[in-house]
Structure 1
Amino acid sequence: MLYQTYQLQDDFLTPIRDFANFMTGGLYRHIPAPPGSPIRGFAAAWELISRYRLTHERPEFGITSVRVGNRDVPVTEEVALDLPFGKLLKFSKDVDTRQPRVLVVAPLSGHFATLLRGTVKTLLQDHEVYITDWTNARDVPLDAGDFGVEDYVDYLIRFLEEIGPGAHILAVCQPCVQALVAVAVMSEEKNPATPHSMTLMAGPIDPRESPTEVNEFAVSKSLDWFETSVISRVPARFAGGGRGVYPGFLQLSAFVAMNIDRHSSAHRKLYDHLAAGETEEAEKIKTFYDEYFAVLDMTEEFYIETIDRIFHKAELATGDFTYRGKKVDPGAIRHTALLTVEGGRDDICALGQTSAAHDLCNTLRPHLKRHHLQANVGHYGVFNGKRWEREIYPVVRNMILATD
């Protein structure tokens, strides 16, 4: 009944938000109100009420051009491969020289792939970029079957094969485990599409290292608790009606609760900017939360297997991870260069959890391994923002260029 209760509440609030949206527009359009006036304050309050919502559809990437060298180059977005639980998106641009092909592996953890918009846009300067565009599980019909951790690995291998030999892979956060598994499996099978380099950014390769609040919560509860407390059935009105999911609104609630003071402060600032007529400053906050409040559901099997295999048992770190009945050997990776990136202030994936990949890839020669610690960023700053663009990205670019 969890999902049904949420949906009932959302249906109840919809006319209230619609009225608030009408009032916001009416106050701004029809009543002269200089910045700082009481009318502006009322309008700002109504706008905050109108924004009290979650969305369940992927926002647009909105990347229409990128700076390449000394000119702006148009960018087009196309679907290179369409599978039930996710698409392979390609960002194409017309440039004179060949650029390295990079598959960006987006997390399947409650948000859409557009959370990595900044990552993609930066990479597009020097690369041909693909990204995993995961589908909201509530929109996938039951006859599409299940989607678990090993299915995720299947998708990565299939995507890399679609891109073709000589590509590179860059995984962000949670899917660093599946990316490493995929490359190990492909390496052992001598798959021609095995990537030339693998960049793992802020991911739980070994969550036992410096456990964070997220790690501790995951291991403090039994699988039975997760199955009975957070798994719910999709309401019949959606294409995936009846599918067991971990709802995106629950994941978002957990993230917000971890930093409630920060989010409360941000919305107070938003009110102040709106009331003062500071449109540009207000728009930055609204843009962030439009993305942050766009949520997707994960399949029950993927979520429970992630808790069990990645956090409870740390199967990859202990050497117990199996793929289709066979143990995965990261030591099979001999030719794919490895770069790991961690943020010194990351409160979701702490220091040592990602760099643990170096010990697992124990047959890689030293010149094919590199670790980068960005001391002054949190989790989000590892793959987005000024530090990413100015300090982390050059390291990533150089690794890819050196192995392309």
Structure 2
Amino acid sequence: MLYTLHELAYASAAPFRIGAQMARDFWTSPFNPAADTALGRTAFASAELFESVTRRYGKPDWGLDVITIDNRPVRTTEQVVWSSPWCRLVRFARHIGDLKRAGKPTSAPAVLIVAPLSGHYATLLRGTVEGFLQDHDVYVTDWTNARQVPMLEGRFDFFDYMDHVRSMLGVIGPRAHVVGVCQPGPPVLAACALMAEDEDPNRPASMTFMGSPIDARLSPTVTNELAEEKPFTWFQSNMIHTVPWPYPGFGRRVYPGFVQLYSFMSMNEEKHTDAHWRYFQDLVSGDGDGAQKHEEFYDEYLSVLDLTEEFYLQTIDIVFQQHLLPRGLLEHRGRKVDLEKIRDIGLMTVEGERDDISGVGQTQAAHGLCTAIPDERRVLYVQPEVGHYGVFNGRRFRDDIYPRVRDFIAANEALSAVPERTATAA
């Protein structure tokens, strides 16, 4: 019912959005003599703000057709190398000629960036992907909005997620490197443990976890406390809703992205209110740079996707309530996940000192669980003065965090028998 009401509210606001768009065009028309007056700029800013907070934000583009490497433009080609109804494995292949002109080698370590499936699209990691493209052959998981998957495609749960990670590492080939950002930490670590136990030739050469709830019992945040305080049945009753017609996933039970978005924004309500007030003031004053930065951030932040009921509820149960992985109790389809089987896969953990989603200690807990990994293949790093988002995006990520991850991957590439890879597109 909530999902249907949400769609009805969006549809009901359509005439007002059209009116706001017409007002915006009127007050910016070069034929309007009052356009550049205080009244005109205020009217335009009001219409623009209303339209921006009521519009439907679709899946953003990656926008990585051309990146900069060592101050040189390098073209990339977005390639879908594997897919299922639930995910596309996207490779950003760098152009050979451009790499040579930038003085970069044409082969590079393969890196699978596992994007979070927690409400936002994988494009939230645009800056992360761009950073890794400086020195790597980059693949990223592009998860599908559950409301777009027909009921005939069946279920997708926590263990299917693990299977997807393993399948994608198999497509990339032997001894790639995997990077789990936020939510993927526990299922990626578990998948790697199974691959290590099987001596799978496609097991990764290294694992890097960034702001991940490997053991959510440590340094609990507001998010962790909510998951522990509420009974499991509360999440079943209050967070799960049915996809309405005419979406392809009509009838599917999901955790809607708009519910997740509201939860996150309510945690920092004052911050978001101030940001929109500054945006309004920038529009009135004609500060294009300030308004553009706001639009770029919120165009991404307000784009959300739905999660399947089974994946969301199992994540709450396994990761945040029962803590099965750190307690050594997680089983995958009747088979115990044994983290001590990981012996020849490097492990790096990255945390932010001010992370209010995954507190300091939750990610680095992986080191205490993976006891068989040699010390020379471990790195534990806490970045001062950054929050959750800053762990994988922004200036501190580019200047302080990424260089450490790059060096860690290079060291584990050298320690593993990794075949040479051509990381470019013709």
TM range (shorter): over 0.9
Structure 2, unaligned runs of 5 or more: 101-105, 414-426
Q: Report the CA distance shift for 1:118/1:327 in structure 2 as closer, same or farther (over 3 A).
A: same
Q: Report the CA distance shift for 1:111/1:70 in structure 2 as closer, same or farther (over 3 A).
A: closer
Match of 1:103 in 2: 112
Q: What is the Cα deviation at residue 68 of structure 1?
A: 2.7
Mapping for residues 5-404 of structure 1, pairs under 5 Å: 5-29=5-29, 30-32=31-33, 37-53=38-54, 55=56, 57-95=58-96, 96=100, 97-404=106-413
The answer to whether the 8 Å contact 1:56/1:136 transfers is: no
Q: How many residues align structurally?
A: 404
Q: What is the Cα deviation at residue 262 of structure 1?
A: 0.6
The answer to whether the 8 Å contact 1:56/1:296 transfers is: no
Q: Report the CA distance shift for 1:35/1:201 in structure 2 as closer, same or farther (over 3 A).
A: farther
Q: What is the Cα deviation at residue 34 of structure 1?
A: 6.9
| TM value normalised by structure 2 | 0.93
Q: Which SS does the other structure have where 2:213 is aligned?
A: coil
C-alpha distance in 2 between matches for 1:252 and 1:314: 24
Q: What is the Cα deviation at residue 169 of structure 1?
A: 0.3
Q: What is the Cα deviation at residue 35 of structure 1?
A: 6.0
The answer to whether the 8 Å contact 2:224/2:320 transfers is: yes
The answer to whether the 8 Å contact 2:192/2:342 transfers is: yes
Q: What is the Cα deviation at residue 236 of structure 1?
A: 2.1
Q: Report the CA distance shift for 1:340/1:54 in structure 2 as closer, same or farther (over 3 A).
A: farther
Q: Which SS does the other structure have where 1:318 is aligned?
A: coil
Q: What is the Cα deviation at residue 21 of structure 1?
A: 1.5
C-alpha distance in 1 between matches for 2:165 and 2:57: 24
**What's the CA shift string for 1:350-380, capped at 9, x where partnerless?**
0100000001100011111111100110000
C-alpha distance in 2 between matches for 1:193 and 1:102: 13
Q: What is the Cα deviation at residue 67 of structure 1?
A: 2.2
Q: Report the CA distance shift for 1:35/1:372 in structure 2 as closer, same or farther (over 3 A).
A: farther
Q: Report the CA distance shift for 1:31/1:223 in structure 2 as closer, same or farther (over 3 A).
A: same
The answer to whether the 8 Å contact 1:78/1:89 transfers is: yes
C-alpha distance in 1 between matches for 2:173 and 2:34: 58
Q: What is the Cα deviation at residue 122 of structure 1?
A: 1.0
**What's the CA shift string for 1:101-150, capped at 9, x where partnerless?**
10000000110000000100111111111100000000000111100100
Q: What is the Cα deviation at residue 32 of structure 1?
A: 4.0
The residue type paired with residue 355 of structure 1 is: Q
C-alpha distance in 2 between matches for 1:259 and 1:56: 20
C-alpha distance in 2 between matches for 1:372 and 1:302: 30
Structure 1, unaligned runs of 5 or more: none
Q: Report the CA distance shift for 1:389/1:35 in structure 2 as closer, same or farther (over 3 A).
A: farther
C-alpha distance in 2 between matches for 1:373 and 1:211: 17
The answer to whether the 8 Å contact 2:147/2:249 transfers is: yes
The residue type paired with residue 327 of structure 1 is: K
Q: Report the CA distance shift for 1:291/1:70 in structure 2 as closer, same or farther (over 3 A).
A: closer
Runs of 4+ displaced beyond 6 Å = none
The answer to whether the 8 Å contact 2:27/2:35 transfers is: no
C-alpha distance in 2 between matches for 1:222 and 1:255: 20
Q: What is the Cα deviation at residue 167 of structure 1?
A: 0.8
C-alpha distance in 1 between matches for 2:272 and 2:36: 24
The answer to whether the 8 Å contact 2:28/2:35 transfers is: no
**What's the CA shift string for 1:50-80, capped at 9, x where partnerless?**
1123536321001111223452110111111
The answer to whether the 8 Å contact 2:186/2:213 transfers is: yes
In angstroms, what is the RMSD of aligned CA positions?
Answer: 1.2
Q: Report the CA distance shift for 1:184/1:343 in structure 2 as closer, same or farther (over 3 A).
A: same
Q: What is the Cα deviation at residue 38 of structure 1?
A: 1.8
C-alpha distance in 2 between matches for 1:210 and 1:216: 10
